[in-house]
A and B are shown apart, each in its own frame.
Chain A
Amino acid sequence: MIFVIVGGIYIASYVPRTVALAIPIVVLALALVLLVTNIVILSRLRDFAWTVFFQVFRWTLLAYAVIAGMIGYVFIDDGTRGSLLVILVSMLLIFAVDIPVVLSFAVARFQDVDEPA
């Protein structure tokens, strides 16, 4: 999340001038690596309240998909195109998945562990 926000601030600080994409690409890659690492580590948890996790995840994903969608719409409406649009949309996708993961984990870690099937 921090990398995505830093990348977003960096790009926004250049608008409407041309943005050098090297730093945003590095930041995006780091954010993606961290998100995937988080998900892998999370998926290895056995004694965990997965029911609550997915209950929270579903709804927060919906909410943050709407927010990310609105931000993406503003970028497109403003005429952002090409590589910059791809980077921004990728950042928004990471944002829309990462926040629900953080929120769901924060809730589920304190809940009773699911009974084994």
Chain B
Amino acid sequence: MAEATMGNAAAPLRAVSMPERPSIQIVPVAAVPVVVVVLGALVVSIAGNWLWALDFFHIVGGGLWTGVDLFVGFVIGPIVGSMSVQARAQFMAKFMPRMLLLMPTLVTMTLASGWQLARHLNLLAVGYPQHWWFVASFAVVGVMSVVALGVLEPANLAVLFEMRKPHPNGERIGRLMKRFIYTAGITGVMQVAILVIMTKIATW
């Protein structure tokens, strides 16, 4: 499956300068107030150490983050890889700006509330060998951060800017999209590891 996906994603997109090029808004401005409200509520719940809200943010944020990553990595990615050039470009033009706003918000929600929750419930004070599960979760999140911030997000942004050009370079878009699909798969695998760790911690 991965081979087929990568092969298709790598196919040159010579026809991206198609007649019906999608108009691209890099950041969906209309959704910014929603992000501000979510982050504001997160700050309030951290400041008040409001257990229910912290739990809510961690579970909702983590569930969506994991779900979106797995869905993109293992469902959307292979489908997009097999689409025609025009369909792929049109899909990405609508999909990537939303991801650009959604994913950092979900990640911030999950990590900030999770850390505060662990502190509040004194979970971080558990001794070894149980503490290794926390260390493992930090390491997995660290790897995901490096992949997402160092490879996935730059590729995402570069594709959007390339698509906005009057004459986009199809081969370049294909190369960057291949990188996007690969890294989405890697973060998907990391998310499975996070699921194992978190369910283990929750059932001590």
B116 at interface by CB-CB < 8 Å: yes
Interface 9-residue window, one of A25-33, A40-48, A101-109:
A101-109
A37 to chain B, nearest CB (A): 17
Interface residues of B in 65-121 (CB under 8 A from A): 104, 108, 111-112, 115-116, 119
* A13 B134 Cβ-Cβ under 8 A: yes
Which residues of A lie under 8 Å from residue B125 when comparing CB positions? 16
* B142 A66 Cβ-Cβ under 8 A: no
Which residues of B lie under 8 Å from residue A56 when comparing CB positions? 157, 161
Q: What are 7 A-B interface contacts by the 8 Å CB criterion?
A: A5-B145, A13-B134, A52-B161, A63-B104, A70-B43, A71-B112, A102-B154
Which residues of A lie under 8 Å from residue B27 when comparing CB positions? 59
- Given contact pairs A16-B124, A67-B108, A73-B43, A1 touches B158 in the complex (Cβ within 8 A): no
Interface residues of A in 2-61 (CB under 8 A from B): 2, 5-6, 8-9, 12-13, 15-16, 52, 56, 59
> Residues on A close to B: CB < 8 A?
1-2, 5-6, 8-9, 12-13, 15-16, 52, 56, 59, 63, 66-67, 70-71, 73-74, 77-78, 99, 102-103, 105-107, 110-111
* A107 B161 Cβ-Cβ under 8 A: yes
Q: Which residue of chain B has the shortest Cβ distance to A66 in the bound complex? A: B39
Q: How far is the CA of A102 from the CA of B112 in the complex (A)?
A: 23
Q: How far is the CA of A63 from the CA of B154 in the complex (A)?
A: 14
* A102 B149 Cβ-Cβ under 8 A: yes
Partner of B135, one of A2, A13, A66, A71: A13
Which residues of A lie under 8 Å from residue B172 when comparing CB positions? 110
* A2 B161 Cβ-Cβ under 8 A: no
Which residues of B lie under 8 Å from residue A8 when comparing CB positions? 138, 142
User: What would 8 more interface pairs be, CB under 8 Å, given A59-B27, A77-B46, A110-B161?
Assistant: A1-B149, A12-B138, A16-B125, A56-B161, A67-B104, A70-B42, A99-B149, A103-B157
- How many A-B residue contacts, CB cutoff 8 Å? 75
Which residues of A lie under 8 Å from residue B46 when comparing CB positions? 73-74, 77
B146 at interface by CB-CB < 8 Å: yes
Q: How far is the CA of A28 from the CA of B39 in the complex (A)?
A: 28
A34 to chain B, nearest CB (A): 13
Please, what's the 1-or-0 string for B167-189, where 1 marks a CB less than 8 Å from any CB in chain A? 00100100000000000000000
Which residues of A lie under 8 Å from residue B158 when comparing CB positions? 106-107, 110
Q: Which residue of chain B has the shortest Cβ distance to A15 in the bound complex? A: B124
Partner of B47, one of A66, A71, A77, A105: A77
B139 at interface by CB-CB < 8 Å: yes
B55 at interface by CB-CB < 8 Å: no
Please, what's the 1-or-0 string for B138-154, where 1 marks a CB less than 8 Å from any CB in chain A? 11001001100110011
